[in-house]
Amino acid sequence: MPEPTTPHPTDPDAPQVAHAQLDPVVREETREAVEEPARLIRIASTVQTLLEEVQTTELDEAARQRLTEIHNRTVEDLRSVVSGDLAAELEGLSLEPDDGTPTGAELRVMQAQLSGWLQGLFHGIQASIVTQQLAAQQQLARMRAQQPQMPAADDRGQYL
């Protein structure tokens, strides 16, 4: 399997988070994509557990209504902890109340879609971390290359 490629830190399409860690001016201008990471992880764990549970359970009318409520509340909770562009992506994952009670299969699909979205978000975060690390390594290498070379120590004529 080929190794995933990481965008070069100077690539205009690379995540801005990489530059935000290195440049204080950019850091102030860049809004974090996830404002509450611990809350995001708790929500993701809940979604994954719920998806695993409903895959093996027959859902009656009351269970489907309750799961619809939980699903919509989860999407709203996620909107409150992510940036505006990520919140916009979540728009299509809400279940409209006037559509009636969804079937068990529809709910499973919606939960799987939400779980997949969260996994994609986590992969994006991991890619951003790798990009940050590469940018920091490159910056350190540039700093080392710019440092004047120290002359070799010569024992003659030096005082202690």
Specify if 107 maps to a domain: yes
Q: Which 8-state DSSP code applies to residue 56?
A: S
| Nearest-angstrom CA–CA distance, 46 and 74 | 9
Specify if 87 maps to a domain: yes
Specify if 62 maps to a domain: yes
Q: What is the pLDDT of residues 96-122, one digit of tens each?
A: 766 688 888 888 888 889 989 999 888
Q: What is the pLDDT of residues 24-73, one digit of tens each?
A: 433 433 345 788 888 888 888 888 888 888 888 888 999 999 988 888 89
Domain that holds residue 47: 31-117
* Counted domains in the chain: 1
Specify if 57 maps to a domain: yes
Specify if 36 maps to a domain: yes
H/E run at residue 63: helix 61-81
- Overall pTM surpassing 0.85 (yes/no): no
Cα distances from 107 to residues 73, 94, 110, in angstroms, run 14, 11, 5
Q: Report whether pLDDT(134) > 90.
A: yes
Specify if 51 maps to a domain: yes
Specify if 126 maps to a domain: no
